[in-house]
Structure 1
Amino acid sequence: MRLDFINDRIEREIEEIMRKNEQILLVGYAKQEGPEQRRIELNKLPKIGTLCYVKQILRHSEDQKFVVFQGVQRAEVDEFIWESEESLYAYVKLLPNEFENSDLVDVAANLLIERFKDLQRESPKFPTSLLKEIKQKDDPSHLSFVLASHLNLTFEEKFELLKEPSLENRLLKLSVHVERAIERRKLEVYIQQKTQEKMSQNQREYFLREQMKVIQSELGDVEEKEAEKERMLKRLDEIVNLAEEYKEKIRRDILRLERLHASSPEAGVLRQYLETVLRLPWDEQSQDVLDINFAHKVLDEDHYGLDKPKERILEYLAVRQLSGGLKGPIICLVGPPGTGKTSLGRSVARALNRQFVRMSLGGVRDEAEIRGHRRTYVASMPGRIIQSIMQSGVNNPLFLLDEIDKTSSDFRGDPASALLEVLDPEQNSTFADHYLEVPFDLSKVLFLTTANDARRIPRPLLDRMEIIELSSYTEEEKLEIAKRHLIPKQLEENGLKPESLTIPDKTLRVLISRYTRESGVRQLERQIGAICRKRARQILEGREESLNLTIPRLERFLGAYRYSHTKAERTSQIGVATGMVWTEMGGEILPIEVGLMPGKGELILTGKLGEVMRESASIALSYVRANSELFGLPSDFHKTMDIHIHVPEGAVPKEGPSAGITLLTALISALTKEPVRNDIAMTGELTLRGNILPIGGLKEKLLAAYRAGLQEAIIPEENRKDLEEIPENILKTLQVHFVEEFDQALPKLIPGLNMDYSQLGGLL
C-alpha cells in the first residue's frame, strides 16, 4: 500500500516509527473539504483498520512524497483518543485471519485463482509473480487481501472486503469482482477491435504510402551513412598521436551517428563534433628550418634596429634547436604600439618555416573563448586556440597571443586563468578543450605573446613568460625604417614606381616630428600612404611623372603641422624646472612651475596629478622644511604663504614618482629666488632623506631631452646600466650626470645658490 502526504510533522513521526520498527494503524476516512473542517470527527471514523509496518518513504521531489506500508493484520478499534491537537491514538484488538479448512473455502479459493489467471491473460498489467507468491503462502485469507489490492475497486468496495469477518463471504464477493473485471476487459478488447476494423481503406493506403516513403528514404540513407562511417573510421585509424581510450570513445560516437536519423537534431550536433575532432592536425606538422644564420638574416631583413630583442630571440631559437625543442619559457614582447611586436612574430615564423597563427586577446572576457563551449550548449564550438590550430593545418605553428595585457574577467570566467594551462609547458601537452572532450597536445606549438604594459599582465601568467622589451624608436631609427620598409611598401600598394616619388631625408624628418607623435611607426606609415595616394591622383591627372617632395610640398599634401613637441625654456627662470616623463606614445619633457603667494600654508596642486605625484610634492615640501635653515628660509615659512605647484597640459592625467627631483628643484628655486638652468632635464624618485631612486623608460625620456635640444640630463645612479640602450649619437650630444642623492644634483641644477651642499639631509 502507498500513501502520499505533504505534512512535514507527519513525515518526521513516520520516520520515527520506521526507525523503531513499530506498527501503525490505518483506517479509511473521507477527505474533508473547506477551511472549517480542522479536526477529525471521531464518531465518523470506521472501527475496522489494518495494522501495518512502514517499509519505505519515497521522495520524488519536495512536493511529492509517498509512504509504502505492508499490511500485517486486521484490527478493531475499541476507542480513539486525542493525545494532542495533531496526535490521534487508539485502543485496538486484533482480528485474526479466519481460516476454516472447509470444502467451500478450498473450492472458492481455487476457483478464484483460476479466474484470476484468466484475467491476467486478458490484461497483462498484473505481474506474473503475483500468483506464485499467493500459492507459496497457502493462505486463503492472505489470497483474498492480496488480490483485492490489485483489482481496480472503489474505496467502498475495498472497505467492505476488509470488514467482512467471514472468509467464505469474502472469497465469494471477490470472485464477483474478478468476473466483473474479466467481462470489462473483454468489452474493452471488443471495442478496440471494432474501432480498428472501421478504419477506412483510404487511411490504410495513406499509412502504407508513408511507410513506403520512409523505407525508400532509409535505403538511401543507409548507403550514405555507411560511406560516411567508413570515411570517419579510416581517418580515425590514421591518427597516431591520440590515446587508444579516446579513439574508442570517438569510435563509439561514429557508430552512434550511424544509428541516428539524418534529420535528427542530435545527428547534426554529433556530426559537427566528429568532423571537428577528425579535422584536427593530430600528426601533421611542418619541418623546422634549423639554421640560426638564416633566422638572423630574416630578422635583419624585416626589421631595422631592435638589436637587443633580435639578439634575445636568436638565443632563444638556438637553445630550442640544440635541446630538440624541449620545454622552455614563453617569450613576451613588451613595448608601445607600432614598435613591431606582431611583425617580429611573423618574421620568427618565416625564419623557422612555421605556419603563423595570430589570436588577439584584446577585450576577451569569456573563458569559453579559450577553452571552448561544452557540447550541451546550443551552437557550441571549440575555443579559439583549437580553431586556430585547425585552420593552420599543423600541430606546431608559431602561435602569437596578441595584447595579452588586455584580457579582463567577469561573471563568465577569467580568460587569463584559462591561458595558464596553454602557456605552461608542464601542462599544455594535455590541453583540455571543453568542446573536444579529448586532450590535444600543444607542446609542439611555439607560443609568443605581446603586450603594451607588462604591469597589466596577471602575475601567474607573467611568471610563465620571459619579458623582452621593445623600446620606442629614435628619430634616426624611424628615418631608416621609413626608407627601407615603409616607403617601398606604400609605393607598391598604391601602384607607384620608385622614380615617381622621392622623399628626401630632410622632408622625412619633418614628417616624423611634425605629423606624427608615437613610439612606433604605424602613424608614420599612414601619413606616407596618404602622400602616395595624393601622388597617384596627380599622375592620373597628367601632372609631372616624377616628384621630389620638398617641405613646402609636404605641407600642401598633408596640411599644417599637427604636432609640436614641448620645447625647452629659452631662458633660465625662477620656479620652473624641466622634468622627463614616459608615456605610451613615447617620451616628453615636462616643465613644472611653482608659484608663491601670501597665505596660510596651503599646498595647491593643479594639472590633473595622480595620487603618487601628489605624494611626491608633499615629500619635496617636507625636504625643504627639514633644510630650511640651509636654504636661508625661516622655519615657519610654510605657514605664512601658499605654495601652488602646476604641471602644464592640465587636461592630460599625470602619474608616477619619477618627477620627485623636478618638483623639489622647482620648489627650492621659487623659495630661494634663484633660477633653474633651462638647458638641463632631470628625472628620479625622491625620498624624505634626499635619496634619488631609479626610474623606468629611460631611453624614451632621454630621447625627449635630445629632441628638445637640451644639453644635459640628470638621472639616478642605479639607471647607469640602462645607458647601453641609448644610441651613441644621442650620448655625444646629451651629457648625462648620475646622482645618488639630491645634494649631488642641486649644484648643477641651481648654480646660483650660495650654500654648503654637504650639509643637506632629509628627515631623521
Structure 2
Amino acid sequence: MSEVLKNIPAVALRGMTILPSMIVHFDISRDKSIKAVEEAMLRDQKIFVVTQRDPDTHEPAINDLYKIGTLAEIRQVIKLPKNIFRVLVEGTDRAELLDMDEAAGYLEAEIACFPADDGSLPTGPAYEAMVRNLKEIFQAYSIEHAKMSKELVHQLLELEELDKLIDQVSINIPLHYEEKQKILEAVSLGDRYELLCLILSNEVQIMQIKKELQMKVKEKVDKSQKEYLLREQLKVIREELGEDTTISDADHFAEELKKLKASPEVKEKIAKEVERFKNVGNNSSESAVIRGYIETLLELPWNKASKDNKDLRNARDILEADHYGLEKVKERILEFLAVRILTKKGDSPILCLVGPPGTGKTSIARSVARALNKKYVRISLGGVRDEAEIRGHRRTYVGAMPGRIANGMKMAGVKNPLMLLDEIDKVSSDYKGDTSSALLEVLDSEQNNKFRDHYVEIPIDLSEVLFIATANDIQSIPRPLLDRMEVIEISSYTENEKLHIAKEHLVDKQIERHGLENANFTISDGALKKIISGYTKEAGVRGLERRIGDICRKAAREILENKKAQVKVTENSLSKYLGKEIYSVNMLNKADEVGIVRGLAWTSVGGDTLEIEVNIMPGKGEFLLTGQLGDVMKESAQTGISYIRSVSGEYGITGQFFKENDIHIHIPEGAVPKDGPSAGITMATAMLSAITEIPVRADIAMTGEITLRGRVLPIGGLKEKLLAAKNAGMKIVLVPARNRPDVEEIASEIKRGLDIRFVESMKDVLPAALVRK
C-alpha cells in the first residue's frame, strides 16, 4: 500500500463496476449518496465508488459491499427531475475498503490505494508474446462481436504498452458488472492479464456457439417458410386447375387426425398417408384409393371405448324380461359380468351358442348388448367362402376394402362392442382361402389384441370385443376354431316353454307389427297350444311366430272389412285362420308288435321318433337296408346283426337260419335322409324280435349306439329325444348309462311321466323291450 486516505466520501453502486481510467456517469437518488457527492465537491472532488454485492439492498452496510473499489475524480454533476443526480467520474486507482462510517449522514470510507505498476510482468520476448496474445484474442472477440466499432478496435490494437492495453480492453468490452468486479479485484497486473484472456476466450466460444444455434434455428425457420410459400403456390396452381378440393380434403383429414384418439404410431401412419394425399392430383386414380384408406383409418375406433353397465340386477332383469328359460346362458352372462366388475377389466370371453334354428340365439346376443350397454354389431358368416371377407383385401387390388371384422368395428364406433358372429358353422373354404382359419386369429384371446386386417395394415386391438358366435350344429365347426370358444348349448323348447314365449313375447310383438291392439284382438291359450302341436314342427319358435303373424293379418282384414270391434281366436275357430292341422304326432302303437321298435333321433329342428321295421323272408341270406340310410346307420345295422349272430345260441336260432332267410330293415319316410350314431340298439332289438318272433313293447323308445360285443355307447341331443318320446306318448325310454349326468341336468318338466332306464349293454335292453309270453 502506498498511503492511507481517511474521510473519503463513498458511493455504493448498484449493478455497476467502475474501473481505473474509465470515464462513466451514473445516477444517484439515495440521500447518503447525494450528500457524499456534495461533500466530495466541497473537498478535492475525490470520491470512492464501490459496488454492492446485492443490487436490491437499500441501505448497504460494509459487509454488503465488495472489498475492492475505485478511487475516482468527479468531473461533472447534473441535477435531474425527481431529485436524481447524474455524476460523471473518471476512475484513477484501485483501492481497498478498510472501514466505513455513516455518522455524518453519508458513507465515509477509510481506503488504501494500490500502486499502478507492481512489477509482476516479465520483460523482453515474454512481454511481447503477452501483448500479441492479448491482441489476437481481442481481435477474435471483435470479429465475433459485430457491434464493436472498427475504429475503436483499430485504436486498441495500436497500443503496445501491456498495462494500457489491458485497461483499455477491460473498459471497452461489454461485460457484466460481476465480470468487471473480478478484473477490478485482480490487483496484480499479471493476474489481470490472465483473467482478461480467460474472459475473452470464453466470450469468443459462447458467441460462436450462439451463432451456430442461431444458424440452425434460422435454417429451420427458412425451411418452414419455404414449405409454406411452396404450399401456398401449389394451392393457387391447383385452384387454377380446378383441383382445390384436394387441399381442403387434406386439411379436413388433418383436423380429424388431431381429434382422433389413437396411439402415436397410428397417428404417424395416418399423417404420412395425408401427406401423400396432398401430393397426389385430384384427378389421379390413386387419389381416390388414398382418400378411401384415410377415411377408413379415421373412422376406426382406435382408443375410443364405451362405458359398460356393471349393474348385475339390471342385467338380470333385462335377460329375464327378454327370454323365457335359457337358464344356463343367463347364468354364464351374469358370471362374466361379475368377473368384469371384480377385475375392473377382465378378458372378454368368446361364447358360442349352439342350438336349433329359432331358439333365440341371435336375440340373446342383442339382449346381452342391451344389458351391458354395449354397441351391437352383427356379422353374418353364412356362406362366406373368401378369406378376404374376414381379413380384408390387400390395397394393391382394385376395389380393395376392409374385412367384415374391421368394418364391424367401424360401424360400432368403439373398440369394446358386442360382436355377433352369426352362423359360424356355415363358413366354407375354396381356392380363395380357408375362412375358418382366418377366424382363428380373431377368436384367439392371446392373438386378437393385434389383429391385422390386410387393408388396414395397422394392427387392430380386438381384445376388448365381446364375441358371441351362433351355430346350429357343433359338428360342422372345425376343431381348432371350436377349441377357442366356450360352447353353451341351447336346446329345443318344450311345448310349455313355447306357450310361455308366445304369450309373453310373440303375440304382443305381432299385434304391434300388424297395427292391432290388445283391445281388438285376443288369442286363447288353447289356440296357442293347438298351433304349437298341430301347425308347427320345430325346436324353436320361428314357425310359431309366423303362424301367429298369419292369424294377425287375417284378423286385421276382418276388422277393416267387416267392421268388427274385436276378434277372438279360440281353439275351435283356429282352423278358420290357419286351415286344417298340418302335423300329427307319430303316437305309440296300440299293440305290441314283432319286428317294430320306436327309436329316437336328433334333427336340426329338434327331436323325432323313428319307427324301425324289420321283416324276415325266405331267401339266400341277403341283408337289405332301405329308407335313405346314411353310412353310419348302415354300419350300425351290420354291427347289430353281427351281435345277434354271436348270441344266436341263447335264443335258439340255428346257424342255417341266416343262410336261408333274407333280413330287410326299413325306416319309413324313405325320401328323408337319415344318419347318426344313435340307432344301433334300436335296429338290433328290431332284428332280434323279427328273428325270434318275440313282440316288442309298444310304449318303449330307445336310443344308443351298439358295439360288436353288445355294449351301449353314449349319444347326444338327449333333451330333444326325450321331448319327442314324451310327445309321442311313450312311457319307457332306454338311455345309455353313460348319459346319466345329461339326464340329471334336464328339467323335471320334460322327464315327468317318463320311466327313464339306463342300460349298459344289450343284456339290459332286450329284457326291458321284448315281451316274453
**Common fold by TM > 0.5:** yes
- Counterpart for residue 702 of structure 2: 682
Does the 8 Å contact 1:491/1:497 carry over to 2? yes
Partner residue, 1:201: none
Trace 1:18-417 onto structure 2 (pairs within 5 A): 217-219=238-240, 224-244=245-265, 246-417=266-437
Residue 665 of structure 1 pairs with residue 665 of structure 2: no
Structure 1 residues 720 and 597: CA distance shift in structure 2, 3 A: same
Q: Tell me if 1:747 matches 2:750.
A: no
Q: Does 1:480 align with 2:510?
A: no
2:620 aligned partner: 600
Deviations 1:117-145 (A, max 9, x none): xxxxxxxxxxxxxxxxxxxxxxxxxxxxx
The 3 A distance-change label for structure 1 pair 336 and 728 is same
Query: Structure 1: how far apart are the matches of 2:341 and 2:659?
Result: 69
The alpha carbon displacement at 1:483 in A equals: 0.3
1:530-558 per-residue CA deviation (whole Å, 9 max, x = no partner) reads: 10010000000134322321233211111
Measured in 2, the distance between the counterparts of 1:221 and 1:371 equals 38
Quick check: which has more Rg, 1 or 2? Answer: 2
Q: Is the 8 A contact 2:387 2:438 kept in 1?
A: yes
Aligned residue type for 1:648: P
Q: Counterparts of 1:496-535 in structure 2 under 5 Å?
A: 496-535=516-555
Residue 413 of structure 1 and its aligned partner are, at CA, apart by 1.0
Matched residue type, 1:562:
I
Note closer, same or farther for the CA distance 1:272–1:707 as it changes in structure 2 (3 Å cut).
Answer: same
Greater mean alpha carbon deviation, residues 219-228 or residues 724-733: 219-228
- Counterpart pick for 1:550 among 570, 576, 580: 570
1:365/1:409 contact within 8 Å kept: yes
Read off the aligned partner of 1:401 and give its amino acid letter: L
**SS at 1:468 equivalent:** strand
| Structure 1: distance between partners of 2:400 and 2:716 | 45
Segments of 5+ residues of structure 1 without an aligned counterpart are 1-211, 754-764
> Structure 1 residues 377, 598: closer, same or farther in 2, change over 3 A?
same
1:499: how far off? 2.6
Q: After the TM superposition, which residues 508-657 of structure 1 pair with which residues of structure 2 at under 5 Å, given as runs?
A: 508-657=528-677
Letter of the aligned partner of 2:640 in structure 1?
A
One-letter amino acid of the counterpart of residue 242, structure 1: S
SS at 1:534's partner residue?
helix
Please say which of residues 476-485 and 234-243 is displaced more in the overlay: 234-243
Q: How many positions carry a matched residue from both structures?
A: 541
Instruction: Tell me: CA distance 1:668–1:736, structure 2 relative to 1, closer, same or farther (3 Å).
Output: same
The question of whether the paired residues in 1 share the 8 Å contact of 2:705 and 2:714 is answered with yes
AA aligned to 2:258 is D
SS at 2:651's partner residue? coil
Shift of 1:214: 11
The worse-fitting range, judged by mean Cα deviation, of 540-549 and 675-684 is: 540-549
SS in 2 for 1:733: coil
Query: Alpha carbons of 1:320 and 1:589: their partners in 2 closer, same or farther (altered >3 Å)?
Result: same
Alpha-carbon distance, 1:560 to partner: 1.6
Matches of 2:354 and 2:740 in 1, distance apart? Answer: 22
Whole-Å separation in 1 of the counterparts to 2:528 and 2:521? 13
What TM-score, normalized by structure 2, do the two folds share? 0.68
Provide the residue aligned with 1:86 in structure 2.
none
CA separation in 2, counterparts of 1:228 and 1:730? 65
Give 1:240 shift. 4.0
Paired residue secondary structure (1:635): coil
**Consecutive unaligned residues in structure 2, runs of 5 or more:** 1-232
Kept in 2, the 8 Å contact 1:691–1:741? The answer is yes
TM-superposed CA distance for 1:322, in Å, is 2.3
Structure 1, residues 249-298: CA drift from partner, whole Å, max 9, x if none? 32122122112221111111111111111121222221100112211111
Correspondence for 1:460: 480
- Out of 495-504 and 231-240, give the one that drifted further: 231-240
Partners of 1:587 and 1:248 lie apart in 2 by 58
Q: Is the 8 A contact 1:594 1:643 kept in 2?
A: yes
TM-score normalized with structure 1 length:
0.69
Alpha-carbon displacement from aligned partner over 1:406-455 (angstroms, at most 9, x marks no partner): 01111111111111111111111111111112111111111111111111
2:730 maps to 710
Structure 1 pair 225/610, CA: closer, same or farther in 2 (3 Å)?
closer
Would you say 1:494 and 2:514 are equivalent positions? yes
CA contact (8 A) 2:261 2:304 kept: no
- The AA in structure 2 aligned to 1:628 is S
Match of residue 164 from structure 2: none
Shift of 1:656: 1.4
| Distance across 2 between alignment mates of 1:715 and 1:638 | 30
Cα distance in 2, alignment partners of residues 249 and 549 from structure 1 = 65
In 1, are the aligned partners of 2:390 and 2:404 still within 8 Å (CA)? yes
- Counterpart for residue 469 of structure 1: 489
Secondary structure at 2:250 match in 1: helix
Aligned AA (2:249): E
CA distance in 1, matches of 2:689, 2:736: 21
Counterpart in the other structure of 1:720: 740
Q: Which residue of 1 aligns with 2:147?
A: none
SS of the residue corresponding to residue 561 of structure 1 reads coil
Alpha-carbon separation, structure 1, partners of 2:745 and 2:360: 17
Does the aligned pair in 2 maintain the 1:712–1:736 contact within 8 Å? yes
CA RMSD of aligned residues (A): 1.9
- Whether the 8 Å CA contact 2:235–2:244 is kept in 1: the answer is no
8 A Cα contact 1:565 1:588, kept in partner: no
The structural deviation recorded for 1:708 is 0.7
Q: Distance in 2 between matches of 1:306 and 1:568?
A: 30
C-alpha contact 1:403 1:450 (8 A) present in aligned 2: yes
Structure 1 position 213, deviation (Å): 14
Deviation readout 1:650-704 (Å, 9 max, x if unpaired) = 1111111211111111111111111100011111111111111111111001101
- Give how far 1:619 is off: 1.4
- Shift in Å at residue 229 of structure 1? 2.9
Counterpart of 2:43 in structure 1 is none
Query: SS of 1:499's equivalent?
Result: coil
Cα pair 1:699 1:725 within 8 Å, conserved? no
Q: 1:594 to 1:462 in 2, by over 3 A?
A: same
Alpha-carbon deviation of 1:228? 3.0
Q: Residues 348 and 464 of structure 2 are in contact (CA less than 8 Å); yes or no, is this contact kept in structure 1?
A: no
